[in-house]
Amino acid sequence: MDIAWLPEADRKALLIDYTKGMLDLGVKAQEMGIDATALKTTLDNLTDTTRQAADSGNAVTVSHTQTSSVGRTEVIMGNTQQAQSGKLSKSQTGEKDMTIFYVFGGIVALIVIVALMG
């Protein structure tokens, strides 16, 4: 793109913004590379540990969840039925069990309805 028509000060400002953007991209790429390497190392270690436990005749289920610049990774491995299903439980995915809040909410709503009708 030809920016020769811009005043010198504006061209310098654009060059500075471009350079900052390129540096930011470089930093982000390095962060993602580090996160990807860390995830690979973690998964390799989990795989080795799971294999060793299974080879020793033990039933083993290993789960791991991680959120990084690469994205969210959920892994379950092992030789149990749960591991073979490939489905993480709610607690393994970090989801909170809200059942108790729903029960108390229902009780409060029931009390309010009864109080209004009475």
Would you say residue 89 has pLDDT above 80?
Answer: no
Would you say residue 95 has pLDDT above 80?
Answer: no
Are 74 and 19 in a shared domain?
yes
Structural domain span for residue 32: 8-87
Please indicate, yes or no, if residue 68 is contained in any of the structural domains.
Answer: yes
Are 79 and 40 in a shared domain?
yes
Please indicate, yes or no, if residue 111 is contained in any of the structural domains.
Answer: yes
Please indicate, yes or no, if residue 102 is contained in any of the structural domains.
Answer: yes
Would you say residue 69 has pLDDT above 70?
Answer: yes
- Tens of pLDDT, residue by residue over 100-115, are 888 989 999 989 988 8
Are 80 and 117 in a shared domain?
no
Would you say residue 91 has pLDDT above 70?
Answer: no
What number is the average pLDDT over the span 58-85?
Answer: 88
- Tens of pLDDT, residue by residue over 1-46, are 788 888 899 989 999 999 999 999 999 999 999 999 999 999 999 9
Are 57 and 100 in a shared domain?
no
Are 22 and 80 in a shared domain?
yes
Task: Name the pTM for this structure.
Answer: 0.59
- Angle, vertex CA 85, rays to CA 84 and CA 91, nearest 5: 110
Are 75 and 26 in a shared domain?
yes
Are 105 and 49 in a shared domain?
no
Let me know if 76 is exposed, middle or buried by CB neighbors in 10 A (0-12, 13-18, 19+): buried
Please indicate, yes or no, if residue 75 is contained in any of the structural domains.
Answer: yes
